[in-house]
Structures are given as C-alpha cells and as structure tokens.
Structure 1
Amino acid sequence: MATIRAWPDHLLTLAEWDGLTPVELRRVELAEGVLQVSPRPSSRHQLVGGQLMAALDAALRPAWRAVPEVELTVDAADPPTVRVPDVAVVRAEAVDGRSRLDPADVLAVVEVLSPGSRRTDRITKRAEYSDAGIGHYLIADPGPPAVLTEFRLIDGVLEAVSEQRGSAELDLGAMVALDLDAL
C-alpha cells in the first residue's frame, strides 16, 4: 500500500488515496486526483444528516441501508474522484466492511448544505453523481426552515423534481415520509 508522508504535490491515484492516514477534525474527499479538505460538519449539520439517515433506513429496509459518510468512488479513472456524502442509501449486501463503495451499490445520496459546500453540493457533486449514474440525489438545507430538494436521474442527468418544506414525500422505490420541521 502506498503512503503519503508529505502534502501531495501531484494528482493522486486510488492507491495513494488508500494510503492516506485519517485527518483528524477534517473531512477529506478526492476530486479528480486533488485532495479537498474541509472542516468537520457542525453539530446541526450532523443532526440533520443523522435524522435523514434514520428515516431513510427505516423506510427502505431490508433491501437498502442508509449509512453515514461512506467513501463513494464516483470516477475510478485517473485522476479519480472519491466523494463522502453525508448519507448514502446502499444495497444491504454492500454494507460488508468495504471502505469504499461503487455507484452500482448506491440508490441515493444525501448532502446537507454547509456554508462552505453550497456550490459544490448544488453544482459539482450533482454533475459527478449524474455521471456516476446515481438514481436519486437529495440536498438538505438545514435552514431554518429546513428545505429538501430532490433530484432524479432522467436521461443521464439529475434533474430537480421537487423542493419540499414542512413534510416531504419521496419515492425511492418505496415511499419515504419525512418531517422536515422536526430536523
């Protein structure tokens, strides 16, 4: 396994990414071989993500499981892109101890907006998840008031299909009801 002892000065490969040691108090993603480091999410951000994860997990079991902050290889070609969505809804059998998932294992991803991630979540990640063939993308703005924007993959592009406040109804193969006011 490759290790990186100093801050990289080149585009990383997946082997080099695997060799990175965890960066305390930071969130790290790989975008086209470039490390992207941001502060850990706020407690409000984590609470919203956790509540969405619990609701999605309860509604979609046993075939699907909602998991927090799992690595997702959205593009394995060099230079690779590895994202860490706030929540990923994945095939139950994919929750098997792997450190990173493939898009084929993913039904939906959820990103909770933060002050430093709004553009990336709304534009960049939406395009990346589209290209990876992710069927559903949810963007939660914790507000107040909390707003959930739902995107569905239509003809290869994640298109906005709803923006919901108060309560939300999602069709992810099973109906999921969310109380956004309780977030």
Structure 2
Amino acid sequence: MKSPVNLADWASMPLNRAEVVSGVLVPPPQLGTHHQLAVGRLAYWLDERLTGRSAFAAVELLLAEESLTIRVPDVVVTSLADPNVPRLSPEDVGLVIEVLSEGTVRTDRVTKFSEYAEVGIEHYWIVDLDDPASMITYRLVDGDYENFGEHTGKVSLDFDGTPLTLDLDALTTRRAQRP
C-alpha cells in the first residue's frame, strides 16, 4: 500500500491541476472549453473590479497539512498584499468559486461545500453553465453556508462592499462582460 502524500512530497511534484485529499492524489477532471472560458473570464473580471484584492484561476489552496488536503478551486479571491506564493491558506481567501463540470458536480456541491465551510472561507459561489447559466451564492454564517441567492442572466450583488454586476450568459460567449 502506498503511503499518503505529505506537503514535502507534493511540493516536489511537477505542477498540475491534481488535488490531494487526506494524503491521496485525486486526478483532475477533463475540463471543456466552456468551463475554461468561464473560469478565465470570472477570474479576470473579478480581478479588475475588486479593489485591494486579487482573483486567480486554479491556485492551490491548502485546507489541511497534517492529513494533507489541497484543493485547486476554479477561482479564488485573496486579500494578500503579495499573492506570489506556491499555495494559499484559507485565512487568505475571501471567496472561492467552483464552475460545475461533468466530473465535479458532487464534489463541488457536497464535498468542497463542507470543506470550505470547515476552514472558514466566507463566500462560496457555484456556477452552473448549463442553459440557462446560473449561480448560487453562499455566505458563511455561524460555521455553515447559507444560500444568499440563486441567479440567472445578469446578477447584481455586493461582495465585501463592492457592488458587482455579472452577466452569467456572457461567461461562455464572445460577448464581453460589461461594467
């Protein structure tokens, strides 16, 4: 039986989108082009609008070191002054966004939902690109995520004092996001 992966083992591996759950490597799902477009557009769009924060696509998030668990969310928003680090810690992350894909629905809606809540990530958004594109926004209240809205089309919301209007239908089309 193979021994569990620890942080030193993980750090010495070639870069990829794999994750580690309780010391076990989890291969990355195959991501379609719509998924990749949506993730890139979300990260860029948020990064341009959130003052004092940075948004990134596919950055490692260390959830537990002892029983190594590293997730690679589709988009993370951090307030780190210098986010040039090999991986982020939950206390550095204010928002995680997962974009559902065929192989990740249960993991994103159940497993990551509870993992992110356990480590105290305040905001968790789940985007579903199936027509019509939709998004559920969750916020951590007393240690559990509460549904703060289910959205389609153009979404107007507030993220930590910043008003945002996001066109979910534009995530996978050539139509650019409009301010």
- TM-score, normalising length from structure 2? 0.89
* Residues 47-73 of structure 1: per-residue CA shift (max 9 Å, x gap): 111121122112212x10101111001
Q: Aligned to 1:16, which of 9, 34, 38?
A: 9
The answer to whether the 8 A contact 1:30-1:81 is kept is yes
1:69 maps to which residue? 58
Whole-angstrom distance in 2 between the partners of 1:73 and 1:17: 11
1:130 maps to which residue? 117
Q: Which amino acid aligns with 1:13?
A: N
Equivalent position SS for 1:152? strand
Whole-angstrom distance in 2 between the partners of 1:70 and 1:168: 25
**More strand as a share of residues:** 1
The answer to whether the 8 A contact 1:30-1:83 is kept is yes
Whole-angstrom distance in 1 between the partners of 2:118 and 2:19: 17
Q: Which runs of 5 or more structure 1 residues have no equivalent in the other structure?
A: 1-7
**4+ runs deviating over 2 angstroms:** none
Q: Which amino acid aligns with 1:178?
A: L
The answer to whether the 8 A contact 1:59-1:175 is kept is no
Q: Which amino acid aligns with 2:96?
A: V
Whole-angstrom distance in 2 between the partners of 1:80 and 1:133: 17
Q: Which amino acid aligns with 1:56?
A: L
2:20 maps to which residue? 30
Equivalent position SS for 2:8? helix
Whole-angstrom distance in 2 between the partners of 1:74 and 1:158: 17
2:32 maps to which residue? 42
1:148-167 to structure 2, matched below 5 A, reads: 148-167=135-154
RMSD, aligned α-carbons: 1.4
The reply on whether 1:143 has 2:130 as its aligned counterpart is: yes
2:166 maps to which residue? 178
* Residues 133-162 of structure 1: per-residue CA shift (max 9 Å, x gap): 001001110112110110100101122221
Whole-angstrom distance in 2 between the partners of 1:80 and 1:92: 23
Whole-angstrom distance in 1 between the partners of 2:82 and 2:70: 17
- TM-score, normalising length from structure 1? 0.88
* Residues 96-132 of structure 1: per-residue CA shift (max 9 Å, x gap): x211011111110111101010000000001010011
